[in-house]
Amino acid sequence: MQQFWEFFSFADANIRYVTLGSVLLAGSSAVVGCFTLLRKRALVGDAVAHSVLPGVCLAFILSGTKNPLILLLGAFITGWISLIVIDYITSRSRIKEDTAIGLVLSVFFGIGILLLTSIQHSGNAAQSGLDKFLFGKAASLVGEDLIVFGIVAVLLLFTTILFYKELMLLCFDQAFARTIGFPVRALELLLTTLTVLAVVVGIQAVGVVLMAAMLITPAAAARFWTENLKVMLVLAALMGAFSGITGAFVSYTAPAMPTGPWIVLIISMIAILSFAFAPKRGWVARLMRQRRNRALILEENLLKLLFQLGELKQDFETSRSLSDLLERRSIPKRQAIHGLKKLKQQGYVKKKKKRWILTIEGEKRGRRVVRLHRLWELYLTQYLHLASDHVHEDAETIEHIITPELEKRLMEELNYPELDPHSARIP
């Protein structure tokens, strides 16, 4: 607890630099990463992250100093060139984008490693610490680095806000943007520049190896929680900022733990939790929906079955045994018993001496399912010209998802029919 209060009091200047730098890095990268993710160019961040290393090395060789602005300028230039090369290869050859990204990533990174090795063997005393661009070292951030981080973060966020409408249209409907006169190529270059800036700033904290995770992971996690782009941007920024603070705190409480990898690990944990527990798109929610849908289909099939048995002799007052139902339709016995018990709880069926009978509400619901089944069969035969013996299976599936609005439209399109393709009455 003492370490907690020491850290979050921000009395130590080094804590302030590391924490604020990590927050600015993670938050601004996440915002740009949202647009990269939506454009289905997630691997671009990885390509840029590996392509900045030769720029850092060349900037050091030419300047002879480790001035952050000079090194980041060199990183920006080679990172930007790498994206231009990817676009050029993709547009001028039959090579697909993922292959082009792999080619550019490996070539640029290989050149960077060669230059870094050459520098390490040159005997230049100023080269010490240059390898932190490879693996990152957020714990060594100082006030000068923080100023650079702050300027770039403000620039990224301001540009995103200023061109929000244009970038959104570029992500969701590029053809429409071009049709209405938007400068699509210029917008692509702008987004490329923002991506490179985000990566260039981040490599000093987490390195070229992990920077792609900082760009894409918060955006991927936020995407699971919302369908609204504005909300997605805010969520991604908050998730990134939280991972930055938490990673810095873990590194402070356990000095042997590096800050950058912990930031990536925490945002990855947030992403995993999002993938699993997001209310609409998460894995658990999807499983629950599937379970509810299976239960709904079972219940409606049982109601339809009871209605059809009563329809044979227009006798809905006679109770039916479980064997009567299973003889007419192949349903696992345990599932049928469970479904009937649930229908009884809902008031759709009644049980009399181990036999089942529809209630008034159950008869209405069963009648509707039968009507939808027969309407869809008739629609397939009349409008798609399918044979009457080929429409049953499709109707078995679609009858459970037809809405009242679609049901009304079907009735109107078919002119309120009385018989289905098999000459059975449509109730």
Amino acid identity, position 45: G
pLDDT category, 359, cuts 50, 70, 90? very high
**What percent of the chain is helix, strand and coil (3-state, nearest 5)?**
75, 5, 20
Question: Is the domain of 180 the same as that of 319?
Answer: no
At 1 the pLDDT is: 67
pLDDT category, 129, cuts 50, 70, 90? low
Instruction: Give the separation between CA 83 and CA 47, rounded to whole angstroms.
Output: 8
Strands of 336-395 (E only): list them.
349-352, 355-358
* Cα torsion through 59, 60, 62, 63, rounded to 10: 100
The answer to whether 349 and 359 have CB atoms below 8 angstroms apart is yes
In-domain check, residue 419? no
Residues 6+ apart with CB under 8 A from 280: none
Question: Is the domain of 24 the same as that of 68?
Answer: yes
In-domain check, residue 238? yes
In-domain check, residue 420? no
Q: Count up the domains in the chain and report the number.
A: 2
Question: Is the domain of 96 the same as that of 227?
Answer: yes
In order of 189, 276, 318, 348, 366, the CA distances from 304 in angstroms are: 59, 35, 15, 12, 5
At 284 the pLDDT is: 93
Question: Is the domain of 140 the same as that of 266?
Answer: yes
**Domain range holding 333?**
286-413
Instruction: Give the separation between CA 60 and CA 112, rounded to whole angstroms.
Output: 12
pLDDT category, 135, cuts 50, 70, 90? low
Strand partners, 321: 355
In order of 304, 306, 389, 397, the CA distances from 375 in angstroms are: 14, 19, 15, 13
pLDDT category, 273, cuts 50, 70, 90? very high
At 16 the pLDDT is: 76
CATH label of the domain that carries residue 323: 1.10.10.10
In-domain check, residue 125? yes
Instruction: Give the separation between CA 213 and CA 265, rounded to whole angstroms.
Output: 9
CATH label of the domain that carries residue 189: 1.10.3470.10
pLDDT category, 249, cuts 50, 70, 90? confident
Question: Is the domain of 262 the same as that of 374?
Answer: no
Q: Which two tokens stand for residue 275?
A: 């993938």
Boundary of a domain, candidates 278, 295, 328: 278
Query: Mean pLDDT across the chain, nearest whole number?
Result: 85
User: Which tens digits make up the pLDDT trace of 152-189?
Assistant: 888 888 999 999 999 999 888 888 888 888 888 888 88
Helices 97-120 & 68-92, crossing angle to 10 degrees? 150
Look at residue 125 and tell me whether its pLDDT is greater than 60.
no
pLDDT category, 209, cuts 50, 70, 90? low
User: Which tens digits make up the pLDDT trace of 8-39?
Assistant: 777 777 777 778 877 888 888 889 999 988 98
pLDDT category, 142, cuts 50, 70, 90? low
In-domain check, residue 427? no
The order of strands in the sheet holding 349-352 is 320-321, 355-358, 349-352
Question: Is the domain of 180 the same as that of 103?
Answer: yes
The answer to whether 195 and 44 have CB atoms below 8 angstroms apart is yes
- Looking at residue 225, what DSSP letter applies? T
Boundary of a domain, candidates 259, 278, 297: 278
Give how far the C-alpha of residue 140 lies from the chain's centroid of Cα atoms, to the nearest Å: 33
Question: Is the domain of 270 the same as that of 338?
Answer: no
- Residue with more model confidence, 256 or 80: 80
Strand partners, 425: 419
Phi, psi of 354 (to 5 degrees): 65, 20
Q: Which two tokens stand for residue 386?
A: 């399918």
Boundary of a domain, candidates 254, 278, 302: 278
At 220 the pLDDT is: 92
With 0-12 CB in 10 A as exposed, 13-18 as middle and 19+ as buried, what is 50? buried
Question: Is the domain of 305 the same as that of 271?
Answer: no
Instruction: Give the separation between CA 74 and CA 179, rounded to whole angstroms.
Output: 37
Question: Is the domain of 205 the same as that of 336?
Answer: no
At 238 the pLDDT is: 92
In-domain check, residue 28? yes
In-domain check, residue 6? no
Look at residue 126 and tell me whether its pLDDT is greater than 60.
no
At 299 the pLDDT is: 92
pLDDT category, 367, cuts 50, 70, 90? very high
With a pLDDT cut of 70, the percent of the chain lying above it is: 92
Per DSSP, the chain holds a count of helices (H) and strands (E) of: 18, 3
Look at residue 96 and tell me whether its pLDDT is greater than 90.
no
Question: Is the domain of 105 the same as that of 201?
Answer: yes
Closest CA to 143 of 243, 20, 262: 20
Question: Is the domain of 160 the same as that of 218?
Answer: yes
At 193 the pLDDT is: 86
Instruction: Give the separation between CA 160 and CA 65, rounded to whole angstroms.
Output: 33
User: Which tens digits make up the pLDDT trace of 396-421?
Assistant: 889 999 999 999 999 999 999 999 88
Look at residue 245 and tell me whether its pLDDT is greater than 90.
no
Phi, psi of 389 (to 5 degrees): -90, 5
Among 65-74, 92-101, 401-410, name the most confident range.
Answer: 401-410
User: Which tens digits make up the pLDDT trace of 288-321?
Assistant: 999 999 999 999 999 999 999 898 888 888 888 9
Q: Which two tokens stand for residue 5?
A: 């209060």
pLDDT category, 127, cuts 50, 70, 90? low
At 254 the pLDDT is: 78
In-domain check, residue 193? yes
Question: Is the domain of 261 the same as that of 406?
Answer: no
